[in-house]
Chains A and B, each alone.
Chain A
Amino acid sequence: MYYIDPHIHMVSRVTDDYERMARMGCVAMSEPAFWAGFDRGSVDGFRDYFRQLTEVEPKRAAAVGIQHFTWLCINAKEAENVELSREVIAMIPEFLDSPNVLGIGEIGLNKNTKNEAQIFWEHMELALKTEELILIHTPHLQDKYKGTRMIVDMLLDDPRIKPERTLIDHVEEHTVKLAKEHGFWCAMTLYPITKCTPSRAADIIEMYGDDRIMVNSAGDWGPSEPLAVPDFVQEMRRRGHSEKKISKIVYENPLEFFSQCKRFEFKAPE
C-alpha cells in the first residue's frame, strides 16, 4: 500500500531511513520545522535550516523516489526568545515561494506559557496574511489537554481562521474531540512511550471515524520509529479493516489536506 507520512523530521534521520520508508510504500512526506535539540542563536541559523528544508531534503527524498514537502516556523520551545521569534516570523516569507512549502508549522504550545501563546498568535497572523495552511503542534503529557484547549480558544477567537485549512497534531483520546467537533483536521502521532501507539490510534479511528484524520511517525532525533505508519496499517489490517479505509487515512486524507495549498503538486505513483 502507498502511504504518506505527514509529519517526520528527516533532517534528523539517516539515508537508510529514507530507503526503508520507500521500501515500505512511502511516496511522500511532510516535514514541519521544529526544535533542533538546542536553541538556535540567530535568524541566520533559521535561514540555513529553511534552506535545508526547501533545498537539501527534497533532493535526499527524491533519490529514493519520495516527494518531500515542508512547513516553516520557529518552534514553541524557542518562543521564549520573543525578539528572535519575531525576526524569524518576518523572514519566513523569503521562503514561501519554494515549491515544497505547504504552509506555517509546526506552530503551537509546549509549556503553555504567555510568550508561547503570543508567538503562536503572531504565526497565525502571518498564515492568515499570506493565505497559508497551518500545522499545529500540541504539547505532550500533562500539558496536552490544557494546551490544546488554549490553542482551540485562539483559533476560534479569530473568525478568519478556516478549520478545513488548519491541522491540530498529536491528538490523543482526550483531545481528538476538541479538534474534530470544530471541523479542524487532526493527526495522531505514533511515538514510543510519550504519545500514541498503533493500537490506540486504531481505537480512536474506530470511535471517531476516518474523516479529517491522519497518522504520522513524527520521527526525529529522539527515540522514534520512522516506520510507524506501516505499523498502523498492519494493526488496522489485523483488525479486519478494509484496504480502502486504511488507504483513506494514510494516503487520501493527507493529499486532500495538502491539496488546499496553492503550490502543492503531487505526482501520484503509476
Chain B
Amino acid sequence: MSEPLTADQIFDRVFLETRAKLLAVAATLDRLDRAEGTDRVRNDFRMEQLRKSIDIIQNSSNDRAEQLQIVFSDPYDEQWKRPGLRT
C-alpha cells in the first residue's frame, strides 16, 4: 500500500509554487494601483470578491476553497419557478 504524504512533505513541495502565486497576486494589485482609473476598479464588485477571498485565505477553516467558490457565485433562490408540462 502506498503512503499518503505528510504535511512536511507536502509543504516542501508546494512552498515555492505558493510563494510564486502570492507574489503574482501582489504584483497584479500593484499594477492596478499604478494604472490610470484605479478608483473605478477599487469600486468594482469583482475587486470586492477578491478582497473577500484574501480574507478567507487567512482564516483557519478546512474548506477555504469551497468558501472562495461561493464568494464568486451568483445566489441561488430556492423558490425559482420549475418548468412544467408543455401546454
Contacts and interface: CB of A to CB of B under 8 A. Distances in A.
A265 interface: no
A114 interface: yes
B76 interface: yes
Interface string B27-70: 00000000000000000000000000000000000010110111
B76 A150 contact: yes
B86 interface: yes
Contact of B4 (A143, A144, A146, A239): A239
Q: Majority SS of interface residues in chain B?
A: loop
Interface residues of B, number: 24
A193 B40 CA distance: 25
B82 A174 contact: no
Contacts of A241: 2, 4
Contacts of A94: none
B2 A146 contact: no
B81 A114 contact: yes
Interface string A203-236: 1000000000000000000000000000000000
Interface stretch (A18-26, A115-123, A255-263): A115-123
Interface of A: 112, 114, 117-118, 120-122, 141-146, 149-150, 153-154, 157, 172-174, 200, 203, 238-242
Interface of B: 1-5, 13, 63, 65-66, 68-70, 72-77, 80-84, 86
7 contacts: A114-B83, A141-B72, A154-B82, A173-B63, A174-B69, A203-B65, A240-B4
